[in-house]
Amino acid sequence: MDNIGNFVELNRSEKIWAIGSIHSNLHSFNSIKKYILKNFNLDDKLIFLGNVIGSGDNSKETLSSVIDLRFSLMSKFKLKPESIVFLRGAQEEMFSKLLQLQLAPNPTEIVEWIFEHGGNKTLSSYGFSEDEVKNIATSGTINISKWTSNLNNVLKMNPGHNQYFLSLKHAAYSCTKKILFVNRGVDISRPLSAQNDCFWWGYQNFSKLNNPYNTFCRIVRGYESEHLDKSNNSNNSVVCTLFKQPLSNKSILFGIFKENGDIIDLFENN
């Protein structure tokens, strides 16, 4: 997996497949996986819009299934690495913070906040208990460093998992610069190169954006904290949101797009 640069330009795309936040819903994802394997074509591209892990009980297994899909498509069509893109979501950002917990000035507060937002589920899937991690967070830098080293070693025991977290991108866009893919939002007052972390934490009133952002007439994102139904996704003239609350509904939204920003189709799986 490529780990150079934060952005991916998608070149010569017949169709661009985009999968909204999965949140470790393994059963639903495996159904989508079968559909993609059956219908994906040589010149298609595939983007995971972040939050593959977190919230559910099967983060490790879901990530393994996602990596298996990537391997299957790349083997079948001899794809280049940039044909399948993984974007950083809030869940991946939080897990990355745990991988570097020894560097945090306030590790106890960081752990508490991450656990309140679903990161405990991901750690549990890798065999770490909440109490264990909370105790480690209070035990000093040396012990925390030993724990993060152990966590990294556990990732390496699962093929492709460590590379996944190293290869996460901030955004992807078509070569036409007409369609942009992000996890949650962009600061429309700044160019892509000057964005901060609103890609995965969001931007105020982004859902109501009705004018193109620079040259992008369509922005596809994989998460929204407010409730939006499927009709809202397709009716908004600019923003297409491939996610709907609540998390407990276990729905996964995904879509197929043209590189000029047109929506070919939208799907919901649960």
What DSSP assignment string belongs to 39-89? H--TT-EEEE-S--SSSSS-HHHHHHHHHHHHHHHHHHHT--GGGEEEB--
Domain tally for the chain?
Answer: 2
Q: What is the pLDDT of residue 37?
A: 97
Q: Are residues 20 and 58 in the same domain?
A: yes
Q: Does residue 181 share a domain with residue 128?
A: no
45 closest CA partner among 258, 267, 261: 258
pTM of the model: 0.94
CATH code at position 62: 3.60.21.10
Query: For residue 233, what pLDDT is reported?
Result: 53
Report the pLDDT value the prediction gives residue 1, as an integer from 0 to 100: 44
102 and 46 share one domain: no
97 and 222 belong to one structural domain: no
Indicate the residue among 132, 161, 190 that finishes a domain: 161
Spans of the chain, pLDDT less than 70? 1-4, 227-236
pLDDT value of residue 250: 83
- The answer to whether residue 111 sits within a structural domain is yes
Q: Tell whether 77 is covered by a domain.
A: yes
> Strand order in 45-48's β-sheet?
84-86, 45-48, 16-19, 252-257, 263-269
Tell me, what's the pLDDT at 220?
97
63 and 135 belong to one structural domain? no
Indicate whether 181 and 263 sit together in one domain: yes
**What was the pLDDT predicted at 3?**
45
| Structural domain ending residue among the three candidates 139, 161, 183 | 161
Per the domain annotation, does 1 fall within a domain?
Answer: no
Domain of residue 116, residue span: 92-161
Same domain membership, residue 176 and residue 127: no
User: Hey, is 254 helix, strand or coil?
Assistant: strand
Does residue 32 lie in a domain region?
yes
236 domain residue, yes or no: yes
Contacts 24+ apart (CB under 8 A), 124-131: 124/57, 125/24, 125/53, 125/57, 125/58, 125/59, 125/60, 125/61, 126/59, 126/60, 126/151, 126/154, 126/155, 127/154
Model pLDDT, residue 145: 97
Question: Do 184 and 261 share a domain, yes or no?
Answer: yes
Q: Which of 161, 185, 219 is the endpoint of a domain?
A: 161
Q: Is residue 197 part of a domain?
A: yes
Pair (176, 81) in one structural domain:
yes
